[in-house]
Amino acid sequence: MQLTAILTPAEEGGFIAMNPETGTHTQGESVDQALANLQEATELYLEEFPMMIKQKSFLTTIEVSLHVSQAG
């Protein structure tokens, strides 16, 4: 079963990894470690809470405008 993995840099270093289909998340010092930890966490989650995924997730991006206010 293929699921989605989203990785973001962690403030303290390393990476945070999240699977949006199950809500599982973890971290690791490298991309490979974060992905391995996420795979394990997601497998354990699915053992406890089996789910039927009917279709693949759709991943895209959005662009937002940032409005910075200045303190007067």
Mean pLDDT in each 10-residue stretch from start to end of the chain (72 residues)? 93 96 96 98 93 77 86 62
Angstrom distance (rounded) from CA 69 to CA 48: 47
Residue 28 is assigned to a structural domain of this protein: yes
Number of domains in the chain: 1
Within a domain: 54: no
Q: Residue 64 falls within a domain, yes or no?
A: no
Strand partners, 28: 15
CB distance 34 to 16 below 8 Å:
yes
pLDDT of residue 48: 92
Does a structural domain hold residue 29?
yes
Residue 34 falls inside a structural domain = yes
Looking at the domain assignment, is residue 30 inside a domain? Answer: yes
- pLDDT value at residue 36: 98
Model pLDDT, residue 14: 98
Residue 31 backbone phi and psi in degrees, to 5:
-60, -45
Predicted local distance difference test score (pLDDT) of residue 72: 57
pTM tops 0.85: no
- Is residue 61 assigned to a domain? no
60 assigned to some structural domain: no
